[in-house]
Amino acid sequence: MKLLNLDRPATPDDAALWQEGRLLLLDQRLLPHQEKFLHCENAADTAQAITDMVVRGAPAIGVTAAYGVVLAARKAWERAGAGWKTAMQPDLEILAAARPTAVNLGWAIARMSALAQTLDDEVNPEPALSAEASAIHQEDIAANHVLGDLGASLIEKKTSVITHCNAGALATGGYGTALGVIRSAWAAGKLEQVYADETRPWLQGSRLTAWELVRDGIPVSLLADGAAAARLAAGGVDWIIVGSDRIAANGDVANKIGTYSLALVAKAHGVKVMVAAPTSTIDMNCPTGADIPIETRDPEELLSCGDKRVASPGAEAWNPVFDVTPAKLVDAIVTEKGIVLSPDVEKMAAHMG
């Protein structure tokens, strides 16, 4: 994998770029201090980049995986000609295993595979598959604009909000889910200011969300992850707005670790919780939150801060990177199809039906 610069500054919409058949990923591990792109030459590179958090956020992972399937098909066609469908299967498995929680990963691979099955064995599949990957990318951006405006319509009076992790343009095809709502609310004059949890251990809040909002001129103030209860007690915050990695059929929501505690303290303070996500994040095959696979990452991520080891030698760490917020703590799930208030199994089925 090669690290390279573009001939222009990076923007939050650059999470995954497909340029003349090359997949370039903005290396989010280096933001906001360096704007470098990683060139993924094959599906294994792409999977590694997802695992290593070069690109992260459920919809962005899905978009990236779709382009990864194009790379898999290209190599399979070069190697096996008419046998490309079978030849690319191992690469699809490698891609699918890159991270477990974001359902958009499997969703995008399934959509690409379904198209692949309809293609002629004897014809180079790359043009059709790259058109499909671009469609997935563009549809995600369009969905985020729709759900952003819908979510903003729920905010009744000018207020401040808290967001957690980064559910922005960087985490999607573009515009963002939670940050899509925040961008639309800001444009509608409904937003006083955004509080962004710093989001240990990867600091997606302080590095990525703050980078996006500062660029847009939206006032952002960082909170230590444990500061939300005190901030809500101080008043002036009417909504928690977050994204999701997977929403179960009963409305339970998996999102970045700490979302569950945020929802609990929101309930205690009469503050509402909005989950903004495209329907590609809803997994109707997953009955409840208990069925969502939760990724646990290397304890080292928690024992260190950046490259510096901070924990006492001998200490261990438990590092699940997502948690599940039960549907009963969620006031609204907002997708490109509409708004589900107080989600439950029947309302989710009707929404997806």
- Among all residues, which ones are annotated catalytic? 245
Q: CB 3: neighbour CB atoms within 10 A?
A: 12
The span from the CA of 277 to the CA of 263, in Å, is: 17
Contact by Cβ (8 Å): 251, 327: yes
**Shortest distance (Å) from residue 204 CB to ligand MRU:** 5
Distances 9 to 6, 28, 94, 111 between C-alpha atoms, Å = 7, 14, 32, 32
**Shortest distance (Å) from residue 289 CB to ligand MRU:** 14
Nearer to ligand MRU among residue 172 and residue 206 (C-beta): 172
Nearer to ligand MRU among residue 125 and residue 243 (C-beta): 243
User: Whose CA is closest to 222, among 236, 235, 233, 209?
Assistant: 209
**Shortest distance (Å) from residue 25 CB to ligand MRU:** 13
Contacting residues toward ligand MRU, per CB under 6 A: 56-59, 102, 165, 167, 171-172, 177, 204, 243-245, 255-256, 321
User: Whose CA is closest to 117, among 150, 142, 92, 95?
Assistant: 92
**Full 3-state SS string of 45-92:** HHHHHHHCCCCCCHHHHHHHHHHHHHHHHHHHHHHHHHHHHHHCHHHH
**Shortest distance (Å) from residue 119 CB to ligand MRU:** 30
Nearer to ligand MRU among residue 98 and residue 348 (C-beta): 98
In the chain, the amino acid numbered 160 is S
Nearer to ligand MRU among residue 48 and residue 124 (C-beta): 48
Nearer to ligand MRU among residue 88 and residue 276 (C-beta): 276
Residue whose Cβ sits closest to ligand MRU: 243
Nearer to ligand MRU among residue 191 and residue 262 (C-beta): 262
User: Whose CA is closest to 162, among 121, 192, 132, 133?
Assistant: 192
Alpha-carbon dihedral 44, 48, 49, 55, rounded to 10 degrees: 110
**Shortest distance (Å) from residue 325 CB to ligand MRU:** 11
**Shortest distance (Å) from residue 148 CB to ligand MRU:** 11
What are the strands of the beta sheet with 322-325, ordered from one edge?
282-283, 246-248, 253-256, 322-325
The span from the CA of 240 to the CA of 164, in Å, is: 8
Contact by Cβ (8 Å): 173, 182: no
The residues pairing with 40 across neighbouring beta strands, listed in sequence order, are 23
